[in-house]
Amino acid sequence: EVREQVIAAIRADRTQQAPAAAADALVRRLQGGEAMADVAASVGAQVMPLPGLPRGVPAPSPQANRAIFAATAPAEGKAAAGRFAMPDGRYAVFAVTAGHPGNPAELPQDQREMARKQFAQIDGAAAVEGYVNEVRKSFDIVVEESQL
């Protein structure tokens, strides 16, 4: 009885790991210098170029954008490759061919001001946290959990 459950669990695990392993193999091919079009054609996949993809845009998905921007910056003339899981369990493979630093001057004035305020709030919160941590080191503080 248990044997069949173990076998079923192992098969399910292998079924879930197979797409990730296949995607990893494609990433290694891209890292080896093979062209994205050739890699995609070899597995019957399509290439979907996303030139100039901005950070934080939920395209093709928020998870994909995070994975793409978490990739290391590509070396000159090379591509940085990676993969991410799609909601349906499949994997997408990507290659970053260039990285462009942001230019605040290109943002409209109201967006720059909003970003400046957000950074000021973040900086202020970090300063408060640092101050509180330092003060706590110099005093004996007892936190009464029942009062929180």
Instruction: Please write the tens of the pLDDT for every residue from 54-92.
Output: 887 777 788 888 888 888 888 887 888 999 988 888 888
Nearest CA-CA partner of 102 in 93, 115, 89, 121? 115
Residue 57 · residue 51 · CB < 8 Å: no
Q: Across the chain, what does the average pLDDT equal?
A: 85
Distance CA 37, CA 56 (A): 26
| Model confidence pLDDT, tens digit, residues 8-59 | 888 887 777 788 888 989 999 998 888 888 999 998 888 888 888 888 777 7
* Residue 126 and residue 102 in contact, taking contact as beta carbons nearer than 8 Å: no
The residue that leads in pLDDT, 127 or 105, is 127
Burial code (b: 16+ CB inside 10 Å, e: under 16) for 67-92 equals: bbeebeeeeeeebbbbbbbeeeeebb
